Amino acid sequence: MCVEGQIHLLDELQNLLEKQITLAQQGDIDEVEVLIERTGSLIEKISGTGIPESDEFENRKERLQKLYSSLNLALAVRNADVAEKLEQIQKGRKIIRTYRRNI
């Protein structure tokens, strides 16, 4: 694959990761899932070429790893928020059940 093609695919991967981070921070997990599928397909395409062994990949490897880590962190924060809200709902239900039993 030519260098321009490699650069294009790596740019696309970087853009998809950045979009996923933004969407995860905004709480749009459904759209993150759609982009994860696109990213997975793109990664398969990249790994099927010689890109992982290329100089261009080496130049971007650290940035891509940081983006992936940021995405994992954003999703973990969102997951923690959802777990906290679920716990609040469960406590509320318990209070309502207790209230109903004592009426």
Tokens for 90? 């469960």
Q: Domains in the chain, ordered, with CATH?
A: 3-101 (1.20.58)
Q: Looking at residue 4, what is its pLDDT?
A: 81
pLDDT category at 1 given cuts 50, 70, 90 is low
Quick one: three-class SS letters along the chain? CCHHHHHHHHHHHHHHHHHHHHHHHHCCHHHHHHHHHHHHHHHHHHHCCCHHHCHHHHHHHHHHHHHHHHHHHHHHHHHHHHHHHHHHHHHHHHHHHHHHHCC
Q: Give residue-wise pLDDT tens across range 56-83.
A: 788 888 899 999 999 999 999 888 888 8
pLDDT category at 101 given cuts 50, 70, 90 is confident
